[in-house]
Structure 1
Amino acid sequence: MNSATVKHVSECFIKPKYEVQEAKQPYYLAPMDLAMLNFHYIQKGLLFIKPSHINDQEFSADKLLQSLKESLSLTLVHFYPLAGKLATRISKNRHECLVFVDCKKGPGAKFIYATLDMTISDILSPVDVPPVVQSLFDHDRAINHDGHKRPLLSIQVTELKDGVFIGCSMNHVVVDGTSYWHFWKIWSEIHRANGKQLLVSRLPNHKRWFPDGYGPVIPLPFTHPKEFVSRYEVGKLRERIFHFSPESIAKLKAKANEESNTNNISSFQSLSALVWRSTVRANCLPEDQITNCRFAANNRQRLDPPLPPEYVGNCVTALITTTTAGELLGHNLGWAASLLHQSVVNHSDKTVHKFIIGWLQSPFVYQPGKMFEPYSVMMGSSPRFDMYGNEFGLGKAVAVRSGYANKYVGKVTAYPGYEGGGSVDLEICLPPKSMSALESDEEFMSAATIQYYGY
């Protein structure tokens, strides 16, 4: 593979097509949003084959860029907070600050056009995800607090020799994964309508959720960023994508349920149990080492009454399942999967409220550099997100890729497999030595298969 670099050709800012009344007011953030100020932006992107024609016209990068800008401008009418910027009001007397989105003073969304003298095969063929993929995104290493000065949304369209990559960096204080892919869906729908009258499906819901008696103004107990802002860098990691076919997933689920003498364990719980066990084995942990498996759990449907799926904002908490390396490897797959299943069962409206009320009584901002020890696994994103349903006149994407953001030892990002049908791709981050051990792990590799791409 050649060592070409991404070259930025042009950039501009895209404002909402027209202003909505709600954008004239401060957009207050909920507890689960504010706690995310130190995490990185969300960075995910879709890789498409460059077509010879679009809408019976010869492919033109200029025409594609123009249509993407126009549809983005309309999309921002519905997702107007993303065109704003973070702002902070400080009250020194009370030693607190209020962080919110100022929708009136934002620059709009940044839009970058770049080129890369590589092919789709150069990106997808290597065993490990090549480092150049990180350059397909703006806001490299930016944390959400940087949204005071940086745009809350940045789109980078990179033209390859035979492909087009659309990379989207979005501030994680304003959205979680569910809202992030909801934005993609609406943008794709508007783009495909090509200026025709469109009744957008599932309009975003910006009504902020707070427990009864709280909100909408939630101050943080700080008067200066240095009191809570922190950045983190990770050491050398290998990043590899493993594919699990529908047949492989079904076998794992059947095995986990049989070994647990139940039929309640889900496909994803079974797959997560496999990853947890295999990663702990690959890291060669001592038997008494505490290890966790974390899930990013969507709370929208767990609340009573539930929030709509279209709720925009962070509505996730981490479900943490804990045991020792010796216990985890001393039992079978079903035992590990049943532990994870029980954590999911126990996560209810009551537990979500307890966490949020506790946070409101003593607000804090997560410190990612201290949260993720190298003995555990964090299962992020979801194979349920309809990533491949987003098309921009380029046909179905051939792959999903992510940037540098929010990666560390044991971070696992789940994507739907290209062929659908319940297939799953897992992007796993491990130190080189541990990744080599995982690649030699019999239990893990007997379930993983060669990834299938649509090109």
Structure 2
Amino acid sequence: MAPTVEVLTSEVVVPAEETPAGTIWLSNLDLAARRGYTPTVYFFRPNGDLGFFAADVVKGSLARALVAFYPLAGRLGVDGATGRVQVDCTGEGAVFVSAWSDYALVDLMREFVPCREMRDLLVPPTPAPNPPCALLFVQVTYLRCGGVVLALSMHHSVCDARGAAHFLETWASIARGDDADAATANANAPVPPCFDYGLLAARPGPARAVLYDHPEYKPEPEPAVVDAGAAASDDYASAIIVMTKAQVGALRARCPGASTFRAVVALVWQCVCRARSLPPETETRLYSMIDMRSRLDPPLPPGYFGNAVVRTSVSATAGEVVGNPVGYAARRALAATSQGDDYARSLVDYLEGVDAMNLPRSGISRAHLRAISWVGMSLYKADFGWGAPAFMGPALMYYSGFVYVMNAAGKEGALALVLSLEPETMPAFRKVFAEELASLEVL
């Protein structure tokens, strides 16, 4: 019999103190983000503590975290005059679910891949992501072995992945008591969040300038590529593949001047093109999401909590990607990941002139790949006082052709690749990617 999950309680956790009321204006990048919830999971090994993930500690620290991150206790709303989506700071709280499962952590970690079945088991159900709706859903699932799964669904209109990691790091810091002692808090507590989304407002009319094409945000979808088949469907296979520190180092040596993310994505791009057997003349496009916090002039504050990522892309023919050394694909990836302040400001200005709340957000052609970097994020700083997560990752992939690159848990310098491909493509990808990793090991 397949393991099951039984919901024990479902309640609303409100901020521990009174929080500011009113509304929060959202930037064009917030409006252009995918309108939906982002489900993530964190797996924790039991540590023998009788108070391990005690419900009162988890809920109490969440209530205090919602004081600092008070927009998450509000609801998605609409400006009655303009129809623009905003956050209504109502203080109504976040939905908190506790559950029990007959899963053992060792089995869960062996079987887990991001998919609807795992999402439905471990992540609390969410409503339609339209106003009015709650912005944060949390589930704590206690496993029969004593381990715990912490799952979050956070509305993407409120923040991106780095903002979500900032919130979780703050919540964990409160749970383990870092804020109880001022000296400790100054040393370890995360920076306060910043909700000044006006920092990403479009420039005034005369100063507004759209200097780039921004095809990733165009209302018209890209033309279908006959040789590559139709657009990718929501039917996909997922995999989690770990690259060792040695393999990452050897790959970077093949890609002079490339960052770790670009080198890894270049290799994945090559292997995906091979696994899909794309004809050499087929256009293949690499999409990415770039965090602009430190690239703006001046940079955004360290605690900026909204969406500060922009979509970018670059294209090549499949023959170019496959027929050249991996360093070629890495140089092409550089073109999709090196944008600065002028590019971001151009995009914000462009979005001011279109319906940013109703941009196309469907999947991509099966000739293409979408790569997202979570490298260097504080994903494993979510120590609630009982140890760091044994694993974290997305609970769901939205369509085929996605790859997340992130640090691997407990393995310094190693990376975890979480990717989705067409079910018929995944076996071939696993084979060619394993061959490439083996070739890196003999260098």
Question: What SS does structure 2 have at the residue aligned with 1:303?
Answer: coil
1:159 equivalent in structure 2: 142
Q: Is the 8 A contact 1:389 1:396 kept in 2?
A: yes
Are 2:420 and 1:424 aligned?
Answer: no
Distance between the aligned counterparts of 2:360 and 2:70, measured in 1? 28
Deviations 1:60-96 (A, max 9, x none): 66xx1110111111111111100000112345xxxx5
Distance between the aligned counterparts of 1:132 and 1:392, measured in 2? 27
Deviations 1:266-312 (A, max 9, x none): 11111000011111111111222211112210011111111122111
2:152 equivalent in structure 1: 168
Question: What SS does structure 2 have at the residue aligned with 1:409?
Answer: coil
Distance between the aligned counterparts of 1:337 and 1:201, measured in 2? 34
Structure 1 residue corresponding to 2:264, chosen from 261, 266, 271: 271
| 1:127–1:398 distance in 2 versus 1, CA, 3 Å | closer
Structure 1 residue corresponding to 2:281, chosen from 276, 288, 301: 288
Question: What SS does structure 2 have at the residue aligned with 1:158?
Answer: strand
Q: Name whichever of 276-285 and 191-200 sits farther off.
A: 191-200
Give, in angstroms, the shift of residue 377 of structure 1. 1.2
| 1:245–1:447 distance in 2 versus 1, CA, 3 Å | farther
Give, in angstroms, the shift of residue 448 of structure 1. 8.9
Structure 2 residue corresponding to 1:322, chosen from 312, 315, 321: 315
Q: Which amino acid aligns with 2:388?
A: K
Distance between the aligned counterparts of 1:77 and 1:252, measured in 2? 44
Deviations 1:105-156 (A, max 9, x none): x53101000111111122122385576421211246x66x43x243200110
Give, in angstroms, the shift of residue 213 of structure 1. 2.9
Q: Is the 8 A contact 1:47 1:166 kept in 2?
A: yes
Q: Is the 8 A contact 1:35 1:366 kept in 2?
A: yes
Q: Which amino acid aligns with 2:137?
A: S
2:214 equivalent in structure 1: none
Give runs of aligned pairs for residues 19-418 of structure 1, distance below 5 A: 19-20=18-19, 23-36=20-33, 38-53=34-49, 58-59=50-51, 64-91=54-81, 97-104=83-90, 107-126=92-111, 132-134=117-119, 135-139=121-125, 145-146=129-130, 148-162=131-145, 163-193=147-177, 196-198=180-182, 199=185, 200-208=189-197, 209=199, 210-213=201-204, 234-257=233-256, 264-345=257-338, 347-364=339-356, 365-369=358-362, 371-404=363-396, 406-418=397-409
Deviations 1:301-341 (A, max 9, x none): 11111112211100101220111111211211011101112
Distance between the aligned counterparts of 1:129 and 1:318, measured in 2? 22
Q: Is the 8 A contact 1:248 1:447 kept in 2?
A: no
Distance between the aligned counterparts of 1:165 and 1:193, measured in 2? 21
Q: Is the 8 A contact 1:275 1:444 kept in 2?
A: no
Q: Is the 8 A contact 1:136 1:156 kept in 2?
A: yes
Gaps of 5+ in 1: 215-227, 258-263, 450-455
Distance between the aligned counterparts of 1:398 and 1:109, measured in 2? 25
TM-score (norm 1): 0.84
| 1:172–1:181 distance in 2 versus 1, CA, 3 Å | same
Distance between the aligned counterparts of 1:444 and 1:235, measured in 2? 28
Distance between the aligned counterparts of 1:336 and 1:368, measured in 2? 26
1:260 equivalent in structure 2: none
| 1:158–1:434 distance in 2 versus 1, CA, 3 Å | same
Distance between the aligned counterparts of 1:184 and 1:127, measured in 2? 22
Q: Root-mean-square deviation (CA), in Å?
A: 2.4
Deviations 1:234-289 (A, max 9, x none): 443211100011111110000122xxxxxx21111110000111111111112222
Q: Is the 8 A contact 1:242 1:448 kept in 2?
A: no
Give, in angstroms, the shift of residue 419 of structure 1. 2.6
Deviations 1:374-406 (A, max 9, x none): 2211112412112112111221211113222x5
Are 2:2 and 1:12 aligned?
Answer: no
Q: Name whichever of 280-289 and 121-130 sits farther off.
A: 121-130
1:220 equivalent in structure 2: none
Question: What SS does structure 1 have at the residue aligned with 2:425?
Answer: helix
1:219 equivalent in structure 2: none
Q: Which amino acid aligns with 2:342?
A: K
Q: Which amino acid aligns with 2:270?
A: R
| 1:362–1:131 distance in 2 versus 1, CA, 3 Å | closer
| 1:380–1:39 distance in 2 versus 1, CA, 3 Å | farther
Distance between the aligned counterparts of 1:12 and 1:290, measured in 2? 50
Q: Is the 8 A contact 2:406 2:416 kept in 1?
A: yes
| 1:80–1:448 distance in 2 versus 1, CA, 3 Å | farther
Distance between the aligned counterparts of 1:100 and 1:168, measured in 2? 21
Distance between the aligned counterparts of 2:359 and 2:173, measured in 1? 35
Q: How many residues align?
A: 406
| 1:128–1:354 distance in 2 versus 1, CA, 3 Å | closer
Question: What SS does structure 2 have at the residue aligned with 1:446?
Answer: helix
Question: What SS does structure 2 have at the residue aligned with 1:107?
Answer: coil
Give, in angstroms, the shift of residue 196 of structure 1. 2.2
1:218 equivalent in structure 2: none
Deviations 1:155-191 (A, max 9, x none): 1000111210000110100000110100011001111
Distance between the aligned counterparts of 1:187 and 1:448, measured in 2? 40
Distance between the aligned counterparts of 2:249 and 2:52, measured in 1? 43
Over the matched positions of the two proteins, sequence identity in percent amounts to 26
Gaps of 5+ in 2: 206-218, 220-230
Q: Which amino acid aligns with 1:107?
A: E
